[in-house]
Amino acid sequence: MQTYSISIHGGAGTILKEDMTPELEAAYTKALDDALTGGYAVLEEGGSAVNAVKAAIVILEDNLLFNAGRGSVFTKKGVQEMDAAIMDGKDREAGAVAAVRNVRNPIELAAEVMRNSNHVFLSGKGANDFAIKQGIKLEPDDFFFSQFRYDQWKALRDSDNYSLDHTHQGLEELMKDKKFGTVGAAACDINGNIAAGTSTGGMTNKKFGRIGDSPVIGAGTYAHNTTCAISCTGHGEPFIKAVAAYDVAAHMEYKNMSLQNAMHEVVHKKLLELDGEGGMIGVDAQGNVSMMFNSAGMYRAMQNSKGEKIIGIYKD
Ligand code: ASP
């Protein structure tokens, strides 16, 4: 019988138990559980992998704990510019948006690009115009405000530094607050179709219209039924250079590797050659799940129809 499964992440980086309070840890665990449950419910009802991925990501985007949708970080200009992508492994249809503003759920907009445009990748004002035309839910700037994100940005805004949401870059105090991240999901449905999606506010204090790996098909997000569906998180630039998500698929296709071994090769070798800190989650069409990272931690969770369920934050 076909195994169905879902895996999600809420970002990777310097996530250490000693920096965490029991309350915060409980809040993260619950947030991951809520998103996992939302996505898994779609699969249990016989829904598609794409819909499961969307459902899980919408829940994460609506949660202020994560750097996506509502909880997105501030850019150099003090606004939120969000990136997202989704890909259907069944037909390799894909949709992506970059630097969109005021969109409540960028993953919904990416899905709209995938299904209802002739394009794959829209950016900036054009993507926002498309959102309005398609009736995608928008929210005022206030909706995206949170004090801790603002404080994170305040500590960086007068510098040329930009920062990965959870990674220490010499700013000891700021580090304490950096426990929030990009979100993503990958799912395999009852029909053996797989899909992946990723959504992010990017990096604090980013400028010049910087776009990370998350919405770049093949870099931060990729899905093809013959190999795997992958969503990445980490320092976007090396992930783009490594074409990280697709490289897992390539190792599976050309070297006949399992999902687990292919992901190990990319996360622990290929990315490290480029100082690519972070991780990824993925599924294959048999419902196998893999979650790996080369950073101190990664918010992650998985559930499958064999009764397995894992929620993790730190290295085991
Ligand atoms: N990969 C994202 C980016 O570089 C950041 C993250 O995963 O937290 O935009």
Q: Which of 97, 166, 203, 240 maximizes ligand 1 atoms within 8 Å of its Cβ, making it the mutation to test the pocket?
A: 203
Catalytically annotated residues: 182
- Nearest atom (ligand 1) to Cα of 235: 4
- Asked if 289 contacts 5 with a C-beta cutoff of 8 angstroms, the reply is yes
67: domain range?
Answer: 5-77+145-314
Is residue 284 one of the residues assigned to a domain?
yes
* DSSP of 78-110: SS--EEEEEEETTTTEEEEEEEE-SBS-HHHHH
- Nearest atom (ligand 1) to Cα of 233: 7
The pLDDT-based confidence of 85 (bands split at 50, 70, 90) is: very high
- Nearest atom (ligand 1) to Cα of 206: 9
What is the predicted pLDDT for the residue at 156? 76
Q: What digits encode the pLDDT tens for the residues 154-187?
A: 877 777 666 666 554 443 444 344 444 899 999 9
Q: Which residues line ligand 1 (CB under 6 A)?
A: 11, 67, 164-165, 181-182, 200, 202-203, 212-214, 220, 233-236
Q: What digits encode the pLDDT tens for the residues 245-302?
A: 999 999 999 999 999 999 999 999 999 999 999 999 999 999 999 999 999 999 999 9
Q: What predicted TM-score, i.e. pTM, was given to this entire model?
A: 0.94
CA of 1 to the centre of ligand 1 (A): 36
Is residue 15 one of the residues assigned to a domain?
yes
C-alpha–C-alpha distance, residues 59 and 236, integer Å:
23
Atom 4, ligand 1: residue with shortest CA distance: 236
- Asked if 35 contacts 7 with a C-beta cutoff of 8 angstroms, the reply is no
C-alpha–C-alpha distance, residues 203 and 197, integer Å:
18
Is residue 10 one of the residues assigned to a domain?
yes
- Total domains in the chain come to 1
Is residue 26 one of the residues assigned to a domain?
yes
CATH assignment of the domain containing 200: 3.60.20.30
CA 265 to chain centre: 20
Spatial CB neighbours of 174, under 8 Å, sequence gap ≥ 6: 152, 155, 156, 163
Is residue 98 one of the residues assigned to a domain?
no
Is residue 138 one of the residues assigned to a domain?
no
Is residue 166 one of the residues assigned to a domain?
yes
Q: Which of 179, 198, 233, 274 maximizes ligand 1 atoms within 8 Å of its Cβ, making it the mutation to test the pocket?
A: 233
Is residue 297 one of the residues assigned to a domain?
yes
What is the predicted pLDDT for the residue at 163? 63
